[in-house]
Amino acid sequence: MNKLNENIDEEIELMMARSFGTAVSNDANSKPQIEMPSMAKWRTTVNKLKENITAVSNPANSKPQIDMPSMASSTMVTTLNIGVWSDERNDRAATAQVTVSNNASDKAARVQKFLFGGNCAELEAIKAFTSEARRVHKSLTVPWGDGGPRALANLAMPNHVKVMSFYEQEHAKAVDALVAVWNDLVIDAQVSLGDMYDPSEYPTSEEVRNRFYFRCGYEPMPQSGNFLADIADENVRVAVESCDRMNEFRIQNMLRDVFNNVFKMLGNMSERLDYTDTGETEEYRTKPSKTNPNGKVMTRKVGVKKFHDTLVSNALDAADLMALYIPNDPVVRDAKRKLDETLRNVTEDDLRGDGDLRKDVKRNVDDVLASLETFDI
């Protein structure tokens, strides 16, 4: 999410490139043209949160507490539903042939076929695009209850709407591309499936269009005061108490997920930076492969730990998410500020090449972890 924070246009473009490859013209035989939208930086949202927060006082010797009513009023629930038509079918006739020819019981095997012979680039593009949309939606939200609904900070909604609207529009273009070549695909399937081809399994182009959908909805957090007036007083009390308990439980889980992510990313950074580069090297042999049956002799530095080029961005992402959902706590603000000062202008190559910098960053990260361990979540 840090890449989205810093430059969401570039991140979306990379996502599209991974899912669709190079965009081409919108003729009948091509994939949909991908047009990149102009999107606001997530950093603006975080800054607005900082400007509008009210500090919550914490007694000197107490654990920091989260203001549950404030959390409920500053967060909403969002649900993403994406429908994708599947070309996978169980072939009963082929299954029977397999089991009978092998003297097996009826349930010993099952033959599954792909209606387009596993070779439909337009449909695969939609599937890849759908997975990417769900991944991005998940990265911009936090868990809420069981299943599909996710929690979203109110101030983060405009950016979330903009990103999901982009995906919705591109999803529609991808479906249009599939529908445009649908009849040709069905004709080709008769050849690729042979005797397994069954025309009744193929909807018309317009019918298949209706099997796809992309819906993203937003709702306020459930409030215990939203019960009908004609419920008996005692039942209202029970309902209100139940709603309040459930909200507190869900908010606690939401915050626990946020903190677990912070501890995971910062803990990994601390562990990866904990080494000294003495300059010593050693030889080792790689695993055998087809081109090198005995493995290949390589050289590596002794004691040096490897880490990905996302080490810094992952830590900053986690800190940004924490500040977004817990904006009014001084411990969180101090942790966020310290991480920004420590990491914002540091690259992974800087950390690999500078032992003193690694020590300084690790020390500051460890200090942040220690401060956050005081939270009663």
pLDDT, tens digit, 9 for 90 and up, residues 186-233? 999 999 999 999 999 999 999 999 999 999 999 887 665 554 444 556
Question: Are 145 and 168 part of one and the same domain?
Answer: yes
Q: How far is CA 304 from CA 14, 243, 258, 300, in A?
A: 31, 52, 30, 8
Looking at the domain assignment, is residue 236 inside a domain? yes
Contacts of 86 by beta carbon, 8 Å cutoff, 6+ apart: none
Looking at the domain assignment, is residue 226 inside a domain? no
Digit-coded pLDDT (tens) for 125-168: 999 989 999 999 998 888 886 667 888 888 888 999 999 999 99
Digit-coded pLDDT (tens) for 274-303: 999 888 888 888 888 888 888 888 888 888
Sign of the Cα pseudo-torsion (181, 183, 185, 191, in order): negative
Question: Are 92 and 208 part of one and the same domain?
Answer: yes
Of 167, 195, 221, the residue at which a domain comes to its end is: 221
Question: Are 160 and 257 part of one and the same domain?
Answer: no
Question: Are 208 and 261 part of one and the same domain?
Answer: no
Question: Are 267 and 248 part of one and the same domain?
Answer: yes
Looking at the domain assignment, is residue 27 inside a domain? yes
Question: Are 37 and 111 part of one and the same domain?
Answer: yes
Separation of alpha carbons 304 and 254, rounded Å: 36
Domain that holds residue 270: 231-377
Contacts of 77 by beta carbon, 8 Å cutoff, 6+ apart: 144, 149, 150, 151, 152, 218, 219, 220, 221, 222
Can you tell me whether residue 81 is helix, strand or coil?
A: strand
Per the CB < 8 A criterion, the answer to whether 335 and 319 are in contact is yes
Q: Residue 70 has what pLDDT?
A: 57
Question: Are 206 and 258 part of one and the same domain?
Answer: no
Q: Residue 204 has what pLDDT?
A: 94
Looking at the domain assignment, is residue 372 inside a domain? yes
Domain count of the chain?
A: 2
**In the predicted model, what is the mean pLDDT of residues 328-343?**
92
Separation of alpha carbons 154 and 73, rounded Å: 9
- Residue 354 identity (one-letter amino acid): D
In the predicted structure, residue 60 carries a pLDDT above the cut 90: no
Question: Are 90 and 199 part of one and the same domain?
Answer: yes
Question: Other C-beta atoms within 10 Å of 235: how many?
Answer: 11
Question: Are 192 and 297 part of one and the same domain?
Answer: no
No. of helices (H) and no. of strands (E), the chain:
13, 8
Question: Are 237 and 216 part of one and the same domain?
Answer: no
Q: Which of 49, 296, 35 is nearest to 156 (CA)?
A: 49
pTM above 0.85, yes or no: no
Residue labelled with tokens 């709407």: 161
For residues 79, 327, 159 and 130, what is the CA-based torsion angle, rounded to 10 degrees? -40
90 strand-pairing partners: 112
Q: Residue 62 has what pLDDT?
A: 46
Paired tokens of 260: 């677990």
Q: Residue 325 has what pLDDT?
A: 83
Of 194, 221, 248, the residue at which a domain comes to its end is: 221
If phi over 0 gives left and psi between -120 and 50 gives alpha, with beta otherwise, what is residue 27?
Answer: beta
Question: Are 212 and 237 part of one and the same domain?
Answer: no
Q: How far is CA 301 from CA 269, 282, 296, 312, 335, in A?
A: 19, 6, 16, 22, 34
Looking at the domain assignment, is residue 87 inside a domain? yes
Question: Are 97 and 207 part of one and the same domain?
Answer: yes
